[in-house]
């Protein structure tokens, strides 16, 4: 259990990465009528877990962890660059790099490790959020299967929180959705553990469109 404690801190809403400011396109989906109740929200999030951005994030996470464990700087640089290229809108890039850079800043100050310094030495660009958390997890020798599950659960929990603030669902339905997605999260994390960059891909086009449309949404609460 002690090995999991850093994950509980790093992926807590209190860790200073500003995750609360992002809805991952949910705000536009709500505005457009795509999301209007618990059932539509659950389906939307399930698609992200199984076929969308979270699935890709988990694969990137696992590849980064392996690169750190094997001290493969070339692989680490490749994934760090690819993670940015996969951000398919300005706001998706903003969402991942703002949180990733903030995570690295907080980690270096309070949870230092050699791996994060190595990342900064070989990669001078912005750092995507899954890359940052993966480097920290591997650098602190945390079990990667548990880290993948924790990262996925934090992603879902943050979007459920955004949905509650938007008024799509209430607190109770939000918790039901989070609990109901745990098996899918476990399956996605397990599959990502042995995946390679060749396994990246997705088919959640409506979510991608939502992210693009949110950039010009007239009135909004969230940055993405």
Q: What is the pLDDT, as a whole number, of residue 62?
A: 98
- Is residue 17 in a domain? yes
- Is residue 121 in a domain? yes
The mean of the pLDDT values for the chain is: 96
- Is residue 76 in a domain? yes
CATH of the domain at 60: 1.10.4190.10
- Is residue 61 in a domain? yes
| pLDDT above 60: residue 1 | no
pLDDT in tens, 103-147: 999 999 999 999 999 999 999 999 999 999 999 999 999 999 999
pLDDT in tens, 12-52: 999 999 999 999 999 999 999 999 999 999 999 999 999 99
User: For the residues of 26-87, what is the DSSP string, one character each?
Assistant: HHHHHHHTS--SHHHHHHHHHHHHHHSHHHHHHHHHHHHHHHHHHT-HHHHHHHHHHHHHT-
How does residue 2 score in pLDDT terms, banded at 50, 70 and 90? low
3-state SS, one letter per residue, for 18-30: CHHHCCCCHHHHH
Structural domain total, the chain: 1
For residue 111, what is the DSSP state? Answer: S
pLDDT in tens, 87-103: 999 999 999 999 999 99
Tell me the two tokens of residue 167. 């008024």
3 state SS of 127: coil
What domain range is 153 assigned to?
3-215
Q: What is the pLDDT, as a whole number, of residue 164?
A: 98
- Is residue 62 in a domain? yes
CA distances from 104 to 35, 39, 218 (A): 33, 36, 32
Question: What spatial distance separates the first Cα and last Cα of the chain, rounded to whole Å?
Answer: 34
Whole-structure pTM over 0.95, yes or no?
yes
- Is residue 222 in a domain? no
- Is residue 20 in a domain? yes
How does residue 3 score in pLDDT terms, banded at 50, 70 and 90? low
pLDDT in tens, 150-200: 999 999 999 999 999 999 999 999 999 999 999 999 999 999 999 999 999
């Amino acid at each position: 259990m002690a090995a999991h404690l850093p994950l509980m801190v790093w992926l807590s809403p209190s860790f200073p990465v500003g995750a609360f400011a992002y809805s991952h396109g949910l705000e536009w989906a709500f505005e457009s009528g795509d999301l209007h109740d618990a059932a539509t929200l659950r389906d939307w999030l399930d698609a992200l877990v199984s076929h969308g951005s979270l699935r890709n994030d988990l694969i990137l996470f696992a590849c980064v962890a392996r690169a750190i464990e094997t001290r493969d700087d070339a692989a680490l640089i490749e994934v760090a660059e690819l993670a940015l290229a996969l951000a398919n809108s300005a706001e998706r890039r903003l969402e991942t790099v703002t949180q990733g850079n903030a995570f690295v800043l907080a980690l270096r100050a309070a949870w230092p490790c050699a791996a994060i310094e190595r990342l900064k030495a070989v990669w001078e660009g912005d750092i995507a959020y899954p890359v940052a958390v993966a480097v920290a997890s591997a650098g602190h020798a945390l079990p990667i299967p548990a880290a993948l599950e924790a990262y996925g659960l934090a992603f879902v929990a943050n979007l459920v929180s955004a949905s509650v603030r938007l008024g799509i669902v209430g607190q109770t339905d939000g918790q039901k959705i989070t609990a109901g997605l745990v098996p899918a999260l476990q399956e996605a994390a397990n599959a990502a553990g042995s995946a390679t960059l060749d396994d990246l891909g997705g088919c959640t086009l409506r979510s991608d469109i939502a992210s693009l449309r949110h950039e010009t949404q007239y009135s909004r609460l969230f940055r993405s």
